[in-house]
């Protein structure tokens, strides 16, 4: 008897695109009215304004056309992946990356497991600060080198990076793309309830780290042998390349957090890193160009997955059924008791995150509907925001329509079902923690 294998990521995403196409024929079409919101600078829905419109089913041919449209919509992220991936391959080919990893491991010899908490806390912090996701993709090759040198499975690279960042973002007290947008839409002061969120953030990150360390230690294999990279670079250039890498990360963090950089600025920075690292590392112009192209080629599949994931929403939006799905899922909450209604909101946001994988886009779509509902049933707006954070944010760990997740798993060379086998138990544990947080918030009158 053959074992049933999980579909290839590209097959899975194409399947979702075709399902979205089919739903445009089955579900009634309807839309909410929208108006510009000064606080968020976005168009938000008007509660109670849902109305039916003329059917606009998406034909199979149009669904195919929507795939390149999805690639175009996600172009800035895709080119970040290409340029940054090329840059890190250049850094790797200088030999400096492996030299730096070996230097790091020499100082943690016998205590390698401590590497996971250190890296996880770093990525969880970036997730909490700026919802870091797509920016992680180019960093995965670096983490893979580190994990393989320790002997940890490749899936650990995804767990310490994207996993930690998603947990940090979901429980964050100040993530501008999740709690920030939601609190603005709920007319709550920014950072309100910050102490409450921070307490549960620490528990959540610790839970994720423990689960990751346990998995890594249980599945540890013989570490990769140290490679002799002296021939790949001029003497003394390793340190200069690593210094360039450190400067790049410093500029990157400052640009994202202080200057509001978008993906275009990040991509330009990494491209500059690739050029400088190749020349300083002794690859020369031709060697740098060849290494850069190799990196772009290796990242092509991961970049394509992001565009295919985006195409799912493009089809749903063209079929005008996104608002129908939102309206159908949110309407039953009005008849539930307060606590069940709050937990129902978590389920609502979890279900919606499959067709609407953008957390900020989901906030704009749902918060104007759920805030008046929460006022009506006596549920605090702060708890309503918590339900959004936990429902949508934690779903980033498992939803196949999350382009960043699919791309990172692909870079790691891990099947999506293998990732689910690792992440799903931890996701359910975090979901239970979210339920505890919401019930506690209701009892405390948050």
Per-residue model confidence as pLDDT tens digits over 112-139: 778 899 999 989 998 998 788 887 887 8
| Confidence tier at 1 by pLDDT (50, 70, 90) | very low
Give the length of the chain. Answer: 446
Mean pLDDT of 389-411: 91
Q: Which residues contact 417 (CB under 8 A, 6 or more apart)?
A: 5, 6
Q: What is the mean pLDDT of residues 414-426?
A: 94
Return phi, psi of residue 51, to 5°: -150, 150
Helix axes 322-330, 338-352, angle to 10 degrees: 160
Q: Please give the structure tokens belonging to residue 307.
A: 């565009």
- The pLDDT score that the predictor gives to residue 3 is 52
What's the rounded Cα separation, in Å, for the pair 285 and 306? 31
% helix, strand, coil for the chain, step of 5: 75, 5, 25
Check whether 2 has a pLDDT greater than 70: no
E strand residue ranges, 362-423: none
Cβ-contact 389, 131 below 8 angstroms:
no
Per the listing, tokens 């997730």 go with 127
pLDDT band at 96 (very low <50, low <70, confident <90, very high): confident
Taking the alpha carbons of 69, 70, 71, 77 in that order, is the dihedral positive or negative? Answer: positive
Question: Which residue has 């175009």 as its token pair?
Answer: 72
Model confidence at 219, in pLDDT bands (50, 70, 90)? very high
How far CA 432 is from CA of 197, 239, 362, 436, 439, in Å, comes to 15, 46, 22, 6, 11
58 versus 8: the higher-pLDDT residue is 58
pLDDT category of residue 221 using cuts at 50, 70 and 90: confident
Q: Is 34 helix (H, G, I), strand (E, B) or coil?
A: strand
pLDDT at 232: 44
Q: Comparing C-alpha atoms, which of 98, 145, 89 is closest to residue 288?
A: 89
Q: How far apart are CA 337 and CA 374, in angstroms?
A: 11
> In this model, does residue 13 exceed pLDDT 70?
yes
Binning pLDDT at 50, 70 and 90, where does residue 97 land? confident
Give the pLDDT of residue 358.
83
**pLDDT, position 306:** 86
Q: What pLDDT is stored for residue 394 in this prediction?
A: 96
Q: Return all residues near 15 (Cβ < 8 A) that are at least 6 apart.
A: 7
- 418 pLDDT more than 80: yes
**Cα(273)–Cα(261) distance, integer angstroms:** 17
Q: Tell me: the pLDDT tens digits for 225-266?
A: 655 544 444 445 778 888 888 888 788 878 877 887 888 898
| pLDDT tens digits, 28-39 | 999 988 888 777
**Percentage with pLDDT > 70 across the chain:** 96
pLDDT of residue 235: 42
Q: Which of 4, 2, 6 is nearest to 398 (CA)?
A: 6
Using a pLDDT cut of 90, give the percent of the chain over it.
Answer: 41
Taking the mean position of all CA atoms in its chain, how far away is CA 162? 6
Q: Is the model's pLDDT at 428 over the cut of 90?
A: yes
Q: What is the pTM of this model?
A: 0.84
- The span from the CA of 128 to the CA of 175, in Å, is 5
Pairing of strands 34-37, 42-45: antiparallel
pLDDT in tens, 259-313: 878 888 988 998 999 999 898 888 889 999 999 999 888 888 888 888 898 899 8
Q: What is the pLDDT of residue 154?
A: 93
């Amino acid at each position: 008897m053959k074992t049933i294998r999980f579909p290839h990521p590209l097959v899975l995403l194409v399947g979702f695109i075709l399902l979205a196409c089919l739903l445009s024929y089955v579900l009634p079409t309807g839309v909410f009215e929208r108006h510009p919101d000064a606080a968020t600078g976005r168009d938000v829905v008007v509660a109670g304004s849902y109305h039916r419109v003329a059917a606009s089913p998406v034909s199979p041919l149009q669904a195919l056309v929507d795939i390149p449209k999805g690639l175009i919509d996600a172009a800035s992220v895709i080119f970040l992946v290409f340029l940054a991936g090329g840059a890190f391959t250049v850094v790797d080919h200088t030999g400096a990356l492996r030299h730096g990893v070996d230097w790091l491991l020499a100082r943690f010899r016998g205590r390698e497991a401590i590497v996971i908490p250190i890296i996880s806390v770093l990525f969880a912090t970036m997730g909490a600060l700026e919802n870091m996701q797509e920016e992680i993709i180019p960093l995965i090759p670096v983490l893979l080198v580190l994990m393989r040198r320790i002997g940890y499975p490749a899936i650990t690279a995804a767990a310490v990076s994207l996993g930690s960042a998603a947990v940090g973002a979901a429980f964050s007290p100040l993530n501008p793309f999740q709690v920030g947008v939601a609190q603005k839409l709920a007319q709550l002061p920014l950072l309100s309830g910050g102490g409450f969120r921070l307490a549960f953030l620490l528990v959540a990150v610790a839970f994720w780290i423990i689960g990751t360390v346990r998995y890594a230690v249980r599945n540890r294999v013989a570490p990769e042998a140290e490679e002799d990279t002296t021939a790949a670079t001029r003497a003394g250039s390793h340190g200069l390349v690593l210094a360039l890498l450190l400067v790049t990360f410093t500029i990157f963090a400052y640009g994202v957090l202080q200057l509001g950089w978008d993906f275009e600025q990040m991509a330009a920075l990494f491209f500059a890193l690739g050029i400088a690292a190749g020349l300083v590392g002794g690859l020369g112009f031709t060697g740098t160009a060849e290494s850069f192209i190799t990196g772009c080629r290796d990242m092509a599949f991961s970049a394509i997955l992001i565009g295919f994931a985006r195409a799912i929403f493009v089809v749903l939006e063209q079929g005008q059924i996104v608002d129908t799905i939102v309206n159908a899922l949110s309407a039953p909450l009005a008849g539930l008791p307060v606590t069940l209604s709050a937990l129902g909101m978590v389920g609502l946001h979890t279900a919606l995150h499959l067709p609407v994988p953008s957390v900020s886009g989901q906030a704009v779509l749902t918060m104007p509907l759920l805030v008046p509902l929460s006022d009506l049933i006596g549920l605090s707006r702060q708890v309503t925001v918590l339900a959004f954070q936990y429902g949508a944010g934690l779903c980033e760990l498992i939803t196949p329509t999350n382009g960043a997740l699919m791309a990172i798993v692909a870079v790691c060379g891990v099947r999506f079902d293998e990732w689910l086998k690792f992440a799903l138990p931890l996701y359910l544990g975090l979901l239970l923690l979210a339920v505890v947080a919401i019930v506690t918030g209701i009892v405390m009158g948050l």
